[in-house]
Chain A
């Protein structure tokens, strides 16, 4: 006997003893909740242990006991004396089986039948005068319980009508055709044709006499079958019976056949993606994310897919929807994983225009020359030249070096600039295929493909752009009939255009479709619990439109397989904001929709609006700041703890940076407040700071080490005068 089996015998005896004691307590006091729980747990544990060995009847019997106790625990059944008797009997049978197992390592031959008998007995004890549909099987229909598992499986979990049809021997002479009758049973789930009695010797067999009987299960209600069999009421018996779902233990193959490690990896990765989408508090989702990331990294490492680990790490820095997509594509297998998110090494290569390289070399040469003036100045200082003359010399040297460094920075940036046509290229094909699939004739107009943007920006822009175009096709553009009815040209137009503007690169995706119904968006947001009906009603049209950027809301009422994959406009917004940009939407019902992505030229150099608060400098990306103004104290409204201010006829929530950063309140005497207007993805916010400072172009360094875990900070930068600046991520701070 194996050590494991020995262990099982020991533990089973302990569990049965514990169960017996709990049952006795329960008999004395049927309301003893703790006793029910103890008994339940003992049986549950016993069931788990039996499941490890090949002893299905044992597992089934214990499972039935467990079910009965669950009914008692949940208040669906009472603890009657009869039920207690049944349970005691079950424990006795179990104990006997354990003894037998110890001796012969096998269950008695009649184990299966006894397990069934216990099951039936327990069910009867539970339901009292069992209503047929409640699980008890009516007299004469025991054969239903005795059907092989494979046959029962077809009707598992359903309430069906059982048919026992015993045609009279001379039925053929009455014109009956039993087989045909059975064929006409609606929703036939099972038909067994059996001999009515022992077969006579072949010579005695009379082909004109019916020697068969029929047993059938049908999904149709009893009444319907009564009508069908109305010609032979004396030969047929009908009953409504509930066929229980097979439990994991009773179903023939309990667990699916062992998965190959590769498909297990797929299933595991897919599950990790699903876990990320589960609801929960911020803390819960954060820890789930951590657990998912570690699990996914390990899975990739175990599979030797190390290069894809880099793709995962990259996605891990981004918003959750991007990470979900990455995990899903990783689950699809090593080959398919690459296109969705370009892996690290592939991204590193950069084709550089020779002319730009030459310019860079020339600038470096200039810098070397300019540098030469510094030792000369140092010697003059040593020789005691006048301070004024020295200052003049240093200023000139600085001027020269400054201009060269500026040019250098520009030249390096240009090395990384690529035309937007790179992300435009896949669009014509996408539009053509999708338009054909949807049966919507569409013409795509691309312009501004020569506009340049930083490589990193292009990498981020690709997916949102595809998403917006797909969306325009799927939800924006109406079917041709509707366009015709609305007096529009049948061929819809989707325009994608890019151009440079002062702040960076702008990409617009517009369609001449139905537009977005702001009212429908409001309703959806309310239904999704994102805001109350009153809040929704108070929103302006354009504010309501912005609701589509909330997670879980889409522009369409129906989720299609095309664009509605659970990640929607919030993913677009997330990606664009990650790059330091923003998304705008404008739509006119019946006329069309326009999305506008405003992206910085580069992610290397960030343009910040700097402000001072409590003696320190903070920066916000220029792309998010929509204005700066002084607001007199009188213009600030207070509602309990919340403050607001009217800006351009709109009420905007007013927040104080000192409070957000847990800094002491501003005690200075002052006439008004310095207010920075910030656009948080469609949500305008007024932010009180101590004072405005200059704009700055900085190279942001991400927070490292322990500080990397701080929420609310985008990075640090050193300003020209050596002061340190903290760049803030307002969305995280709020």
Chain B
């Protein structure tokens, strides 16, 4: 990759990597986050997500669980082994609402778990908190 963007001394907009195999969900998440001033990157499965994360080191990960090729759990586990990515805050989002699913997500390395569908206000509030952006007044 030769044409990386110029490193900015202090990125004013936190960068969020959204990993989900559903186009609609990605588009929805992007719309919600961008309208709140985040920069959004997309990846379509776990492997793609890992590659994106490794090359761009996002400020926050939003990861779906059930995906082709590599699921969200595996992706997070791998990612947590990378020195540069082990502490990037991560939110897992899935349609499963059982406690055991939440537990599995946290065990894999997530910091938070949302059950789909997530209200836009909840998503942006969590993203702001986890990236250290000041909450809206």
Interface string of B4-30 (1 = CB under 8 A from A): 000000000000000011111101100
Decide yes or no whether B109 CB sits under 8 A from chain A. Answer: yes
Contacts of B25 in A (CB 8 A): 45, 48-49, 52
Contacts of A275 in B (CB 8 A): 106, 111
Decide yes or no whether A488 CB sits under 8 A from chain B. Answer: no
Interface string of B97-119 (1 = CB under 8 A from A): 10000010011010110011111
Q: Are A287 and B27 in contact, with the CB atoms below 8 A?
A: no
Q: Are A255 and B122 in contact, with the CB atoms below 8 A?
A: yes
Minimal beta-carbon separation of A656 from chain B (angstroms): 31
Kindly specify which of A216-224, A290-298, A449-457 makes contact with the partner chain: A290-298
Instruction: For B31, give the chain A residue with the smallest CB separation.
Output: A4
A304 to B119, CA, bound (A): 24
Q: Are B87 and A52 in contact, with the CB atoms below 8 A?
A: no
Instruction: For B89, give the chain A residue with the smallest CB separation.
Output: A295
Decide yes or no whether B2 CB sits under 8 A from chain A. Answer: no
Q: Are A264 and B24 in contact, with the CB atoms below 8 A?
A: no
A268 to B126, CA, bound (A): 8
Q: How many residues from A make CB contacts under 8 Å with B?
A: 49
Minimal beta-carbon separation of B73 from chain A (angstroms): 13
Minimal beta-carbon separation of B90 from chain A (angstroms): 7
Which of B90, B95, B103, B126 touches A51 (beta carbons < 8 Å)?
B95
Minimal beta-carbon separation of A43 from chain B (angstroms): 10
Minimal beta-carbon separation of B117 from chain A (angstroms): 4
Q: Are B87 and A302 in contact, with the CB atoms below 8 A?
A: no
A47 to B130, CA, bound (A): 28
- Contact A258 to B119, CB < 8 A, known contacts A48-B22, A298-B129: yes
- Contact A291 to B80, CB < 8 A, known contacts A268-B111, A302-B131: yes
Decide yes or no whether A41 CB sits under 8 A from chain B. Answer: yes
Instruction: For A294, give the chain B residue with the smallest CB separation.
Output: B87
Q: Are A255 and B129 in contact, with the CB atoms below 8 A?
A: no
A261 to B106, CA, bound (A): 21
Contacts of B107 in A (CB 8 A): 278, 280
Interface-central residue, A3, A10, A45, by most chain B CB under 10 Å: A45
Interface string of A252-279 (1 = CB under 8 A from B): 0011001101001100100110110010
Q: Are A259 and B135 in contact, with the CB atoms below 8 A?
A: no
Contacts of B97 in A (CB 8 A): 247-248
Q: Are B66 and A291 in contact, with the CB atoms below 8 A?
A: no
Contacts of B133 in A (CB 8 A): 302
Q: Are B23 and A11 in contact, with the CB atoms below 8 A?
A: yes
- Contact A272 to B66, CB < 8 A, known contacts A48-B95, A302-B134: no
Which of A10, A47, A259 touches B122 (beta carbons < 8 Å)?
A259
Instruction: For B30, give the chain A residue with the smallest CB separation.
Output: A4
A298 to B22, CA, bound (A): 29
Instruction: For B107, give the chain A residue with the smallest CB separation.
Output: A278
Minimal beta-carbon separation of B114 from chain A (angstroms): 8
Which of B81, B86, B88, B117 touches A254 (beta carbons < 8 Å)?
B117
Decide yes or no whether A284 CB sits under 8 A from chain B. Answer: yes
- Contact A288 to B135, CB < 8 A, known contacts A41-B68, A255-B119, A293-B87: no
Which of A49, A258, A287, A293 touches B22 (beta carbons < 8 Å)?
A49
- Contact A10 to B111, CB < 8 A, known contacts A4-B31, A291-B90, A302-B128: no
- Contact A303 to B135, CB < 8 A, known contacts A288-B109, A298-B129: yes
Decide yes or no whether A361 CB sits under 8 A from chain B. Answer: no
Contacts of B112 in A (CB 8 A): 268, 271
Contacts of A52 in B (CB 8 A): 24-25, 28, 116-117
Decide yes or no whether B125 CB sits under 8 A from chain A. Answer: yes
Q: Are B24 and A303 in contact, with the CB atoms below 8 A?
A: no
Q: Are B27 and A264 in contact, with the CB atoms below 8 A?
A: no
Tell me the A42-60 residues at the B interface (CB within 8 Å): 44-45, 47-49, 51-52
A299 to B91, CA, bound (A): 14
Contacts of B23 in A (CB 8 A): 7, 10-11
A385 to B17, CA, bound (A): 76
Q: Are A4 and B129 in contact, with the CB atoms below 8 A?
A: no
Which of A11, A284, A299 touches B24 (beta carbons < 8 Å)?
A11
Decide yes or no whether A549 CB sits under 8 A from chain B. Answer: no
Minimal beta-carbon separation of A38 from chain B (angstroms): 9
Contacts of A49 in B (CB 8 A): 22, 24-25
Contacts of A303 in B (CB 8 A): 129, 135
Which of A264, A278, A283 touches B126 (beta carbons < 8 Å)?
A264
Q: Are B117 and A295 in contact, with the CB atoms below 8 A?
A: no
A283 to B77, CA, bound (A): 11
Contacts of A254 in B (CB 8 A): 115, 117
Which of B81, B130, B136 touches A287 (beta carbons < 8 Å)?
B81
Which of A48, A258, A284, A298 touches B130 (beta carbons < 8 Å)?
A298
Decide yes or no whether B121 CB sits under 8 A from chain A. Answer: yes
Contacts of B80 in A (CB 8 A): 284, 287-288, 291
Minimal beta-carbon separation of B80 from chain A (angstroms): 4
- Contact A264 to B122, CB < 8 A, known contacts A51-B117, A271-B106, A291-B87: yes
Instruction: For A53, give the chain B residue with the smallest CB separation.
Output: B117
Contacts of B109 in A (CB 8 A): 284, 287-288, 291
Instruction: For B25, give the chain A residue with the smallest CB separation.
Output: A48
Q: Are A294 and B66 in contact, with the CB atoms below 8 A?
A: no
A301 to B22, CA, bound (A): 33
A292 to B24, CA, bound (A): 30
A290 to B81, CA, bound (A): 11
- Contact A291 to B88, CB < 8 A, known contacts A45-B22, A48-B22, A49-B24: yes
Contacts of A620 in B (CB 8 A): none
A241 to B64, CA, bound (A): 35
Q: Are A44 and B129 in contact, with the CB atoms below 8 A?
A: no
Minimal beta-carbon separation of A296 from chain B (angstroms): 9
Contacts of A271 in B (CB 8 A): 106, 111-112
A and B contact pairs by CB, cutoff 8 A, 13 listed? A7-B24, A10-B23, A49-B25, A52-B25, A254-B117, A259-B122, A287-B87, A288-B80, A291-B88, A291-B111, A294-B88, A299-B129, A303-B135
Q: A255-B117, A287-B109 given; name 10 further pairs at CB < 8 Å.
A: A10-B23, A48-B117, A52-B25, A248-B95, A271-B111, A283-B81, A284-B109, A291-B89, A298-B131, A299-B129
A-B complex: 4 closest residue pairs judged by Cβ atoms: A298-B132, A290-B87, A301-B132, A287-B86
Which residues of chain B have a CB within 8 Å of any CB of chain A? 20-25, 27-28, 31, 64, 66, 68, 80-81, 86-90, 95, 97, 103, 106-107, 109, 111-112, 115-119, 121-122, 125-126, 128-136
